Amino acid sequence: MTMKDDNKANINENKEHETPTITTKIGSTTYVVGLHFSKTSKETLQDKIKRMVLEDAKRENH
């Protein structure tokens, strides 16, 4: 995979292992991050992000 712009991340699904990855380049270093999603999770991505933002806001207010 080639990066078109250093500020953009590419999302690929590795067909061999069926694991989606995000690849981004910062400076001369390329980062490839594998993603894992729980099949048993009861929380949606939207719920998870909302929870994380609220927890972060609480920490900053204390």
**Given pLDDT bands bounded at 50, 70 and 90, which one contains residue 35?**
confident
Task: Report the 10 Å Cβ neighbour count for 3.
Answer: 13
Is it the case that residue 54 has pLDDT exceeding 90?
Answer: yes
**Given pLDDT bands bounded at 50, 70 and 90, which one contains residue 21?**
confident
pTM for the whole thing? 0.42
47, amino acid identity? D
22 against 9, higher pLDDT: 22
Q: Tell me the sheet residues that pair with 19.
A: 14
Give percent of the chain above pLDDT 70: 71
Every domain of the chain and the residues it spans: 10-61
5, amino acid identity? D
Structure tokens at 61: 């207010």
Q: What pLDDT, on the 0 to 100 scale, is given for residue 19?
A: 77
**Chain centroid to CA 30:** 15
Hunting for tokens 């490839």 — which residue is that? 32
